[in-house]
Structure 1
């Protein structure tokens, strides 16, 4: 039986690489993104449930794996007007954390109702542990929240065969990472990565595929780092 997968943020960067590695004869993948898959704007509170319902219909009423990859990385400097700073915080939390939480809830309820096992793979960030720049409190906090959520799901539903994993990339060579590296003086940042380079999206995708399809159940709750030893725990 094919494994049915919903992947958010599948149109570029890490998401596109994950989509490629999860497109196999034994899987059916529904992606979400701005340029491919099912469109959904996660700044809209109605979007996560609408996406879930459309994906469920497209996959004949069964989703086996949810991969939460969609996210934004937008600067919110402290010297913004207060209301603008709060708006930036709330936008990042809604897109990066609340939308993922809604999809996780819908997935868990789906599996419970159907009496099925299932897997959740959440793409977080090393920022969850290391923090980020002064203009990105919200990004680091959203990814730390994703880690806490993943662990709670793993502990809460393992007995029902519902597994959850989190992956924490460091800098990854997507368009977003290239802009960030350039703006921060790339050579200095690269000097902080013992491997000497940022990760390739395909490397993160390999880890996501493992968690989605192959990781043994006893690994549930694991948080997996992939950052070239730039942050070790």
Structure 2
């Protein structure tokens, strides 16, 4: 079974993905912002952290890493009424973690697979916000996730002939600690009126899609974006 690096795997969706992959027999290397319970610690707000994380993951793997799952993310409000420097810092920090770090890791993974002439897969955990947008305080989050979709599609088209595949998942609201404050700020239960399914997604549901993309999806699905938003946004 393959070796998989999962970023942001110490809680929420990432933890669910790591557990589901382990149940299927994959060897999972987990990343967190800090070293917790055996996870590799790396603060992706640091421009040098993705490279160090990739190096540490390869050393721990003792061989190739077959699959990269870009799940780590930052979700904090950044209202336009804030100070100019504060707003800019919030913008850059979010894009650094949610997009640039994912791009760096994707680049390291693709070059790794090219050098060894082996297949590989990348799964990007993006967001419904990539297509629908988000709240007025979350321009940065929506922009980063839209950028991730553009990154994913470019990778899929560029490297399919080398058996390097790319998949993306775009969850809507998901029941994680990261979303709790946001759900409350948007009215909590009233928010469900916008979701035809009548509830938000669970981390286990998103994990099931990620595991499918990592282990089961046929190669012809490369470039696909899989929505998981309870029909709150259909394309």
Q: Name whichever of 55-64 and 111-120 sits farther off.
A: 55-64
Please give the alpha-carbon distance, in whole angstroms, between the structure 2 residues aligned to 1:39 and 1:46.
13
Distance in 1 separating the partners of 2:184 and 2:80: 21
Structure 1 residue runs of 4+, over 6 Å off?
A: none
Q: 1:168-201 deviations in whole A, cap 9, x for unaligned?
A: 0000000122221112111221000000000010
Partners of 2:222 and 2:124 lie apart in 1 by: 12
Q: Aligned to 1:178, which of 180, 186, 189? A: 180
Question: Deviation at 1:84?
Answer: 1.1
Say which SS state the counterpart of residue 191 (structure 1) adopts.
helix
Q: Which residue of 2 aligns with 1:19?
A: 18
Match of 2:113 among 111, 114, 136: 111
Match of 1:203 among 205, 208, 216: 205
Partner of residue 138 from structure 1, selected from 140, 144, 161? 140
In structure 2, what is the Cα distance between the partners aligned to 1:178 and 1:44?
A: 26
How far, CA to CA, are the matches of 2:23 and 2:189 in structure 1?
38
Post-superposition CA distance 1:44-92 (Å, at most 9, x none): 1110000000001111131000000000001111011111111110000
What stretches of structure 2 of length at least 5 have no aligned partner?
A: none
> Which whole-Å CA distance do the structure 2 matches of 1:179 and 1:206 have between them?
25
Q: 1:99 aligns with which of 95, 98, 101?
A: 101
Residue 219 (structure 1) aligns with = 221
Aligned to 1:73: 75
For this pair of structures, how many residues does the alignment match? Answer: 232
Q: How far has the Cα of 1:25 moved from its partner?
A: 6.0
Q: How far apart are the structure 1 equivalents of 2:47 and 2:206?
A: 28
Residue 206 of structure 2 aligns to a residue whose secondary structure is helix
Alignment match, 2:51? 49
Deviates more, 1:182-191 or 1:218-227: 182-191
What is the distance in 1 between the residues matched to 2:104 and 2:49? Answer: 10
* Structure 1 residue matching 2:23: 3-state secondary structure: coil
- Cα deviation 1:143-185 (Å, max 9, x = unaligned): 0000000000000000000000000000000012222111211
Partner of 1:156: 158
How far apart are the structure 2 equivalents of 1:179 and 1:76?
13
TM norm structure 1: 0.98
State the TM-score, normalizing by the size of structure 2. 0.97
